[in-house]
Structure 1
């Protein structure tokens, strides 16, 4: 079965009953540079959607607008039917550069969002320990960021995002700073976490292979100004061994299909 192309071109998308994030008419300028133009998207609840496209197409800008970290110049963002323009507890952001507090232990870093909410220390540390274990860092709660590898620090960032129990997790190229072996392991962990946690993930990546492997849906953005070019659902059976997936004809065909659509934009 080939990937399912849900839409082509810039036609508006009507809200779906299972959407948790709705983006309507979002545009963004940086001075005279138009970064995004009239983005219309729905993000299904409990699914992992990747934003994919050439450098400078506005993937991270769109992610940060959804997070409320920057404001759009036009358009709206709604989470569960409520308009938002600033950060909120229903969303958590995982930064590309880890954004950890160097003076704090792993446990304190992971529990920090709950500490800001005024949660009792014992309760927040118990929650933090659970997610430290969940991301594969059991036994590292007392370590400091400088004592961890880059891959381990990124796991701390993911555990911190999970610990606040946000409905929507926004990840900005979280695996770009780790080696290929760790990246593969993180991808497998992310698929498992999405299934176990039943969260909605919005994931920015430059990697076609990564997007096809981990995603329920892939949103292809055109070069600046970023517009929705296609929305694709890879038809990948992720219940089989990961190594088989990377050799599977459907996976390889989907990667090639996306590459054919993007290579015209590569200089």
Structure 2
């Protein structure tokens, strides 16, 4: 496994590369007198998984929601496929930390709901929903309700719903924070399989350094509030290796330690 590559934190002006799907330009965010984000400039490449990592309160989730169009920026611009974001759009799907499932709807209805909103015929949307329910390992639970599922299973429903709408960009806000460590590791491995199979662009928020290094093509480190891009790391991980081999590899452990040394001063 090669050493990680440190990518530049600054981005050149002008047109984005054809490989870039999400452009973040000069994003600032204030909540009244609190400055949450300052001058964020980032490009996100197609088919890659990028993790936003940093101390609590650094604006990771705020930035993710601005990209999703769920929260307006105070200043700056987000472009998806070259078009300026003015709100939520069909090219983006958001997986919430608290699942955000409809408690009165079955798993099948929850997963198919985005397609229902788009006017997709019932037979087609149910066929698509069943496919992604199977992909996330929930076959047989189609007619169950959220209260009948574990936290990890409810999160799988949220992920299946995001995939079902065929969005170009998947935004995941700490999707595995509610599950135990054993299931968390299994979800990480499942996520990497979905990344490989679906070829979507993933923007991922986590508090876990180990998780970020394990799943990411690129890690964006944000500074304490106001959040700014402090460093970008590209772990060079051999994804063909077995999970237990990766997690014991010296290069993997060295990147985890490097990031921890950079963030430990901000630990409470």
State the TM-score, normalizing by the size of structure 1: 0.98
Contact 1:217–1:233 (Cα < 8 Å) also in 2: yes
Corresponding residue of 1:79: 80
Distance 1:18 1:227 in 2: 24
3-state SS in 1 of match to 2:240: coil
Contact 1:13–1:41 (Cα < 8 Å) also in 2: no
1:224 equivalent to 2:225? Answer: yes
Distance 2:86 2:141 in 1: 36
Contact 1:13–1:42 (Cα < 8 Å) also in 2: no
* Residue 105 of structure 1: how far off its partner (Å): 0.3
3-state SS in 2 of match to 1:151: helix
Corresponding residue of 1:139: 140
Distance 2:31 2:12 in 1: 26
Corresponding residue of 2:131: 130
Distance 1:158 1:138 in 2: 14
Corresponding residue of 2:153: 152
* Residue 12 of structure 1: how far off its partner (Å): 3.7
Contact 1:5–1:232 (Cα < 8 Å) also in 2: yes
Distance 1:200 1:212 in 2: 17
CA displacement 1:199-219 (0-9 Å, x = unmatched): 000000000000000000000
Please list every run of 5 or more consecutive structure 1 residues that lacks an aligned counterpart in the other structure: none
Distance 2:221 2:12 in 1: 15
Distance 1:81 1:118 in 2: 26
Corresponding residue of 1:161: 162
Corresponding residue of 1:261: 262
Q: Cα 1:150–1:266, aligned 2, differ >3 Å: closer, same or farther?
A: same
Corresponding residue of 1:54: 55
- Superposed, which structure 2 residues align to 1:1-267 within 5 Å? 1-8=2-9, 11-14=10-13, 15-267=16-268
* Residue 13 of structure 1: how far off its partner (Å): 4.2
Distance 1:257 1:81 in 2: 35
Corresponding pairs, count: 265
CA displacement 1:202-258 (0-9 Å, x = unmatched): 000000000000000000000000000011100111111101111001100110111
Moved over 6 A (4+): none
* Residue 16 of structure 1: how far off its partner (Å): 2.7
CA displacement 1:135-168 (0-9 Å, x = unmatched): 0101110111111111000000000000000000
State the TM-score, normalizing by the size of structure 2: 0.97
CA displacement 1:19-61 (0-9 Å, x = unmatched): 1000000000011000000100000100000000000000000
3-state SS in 2 of match to 1:181: helix
Contact 1:105–1:143 (Cα < 8 Å) also in 2: yes
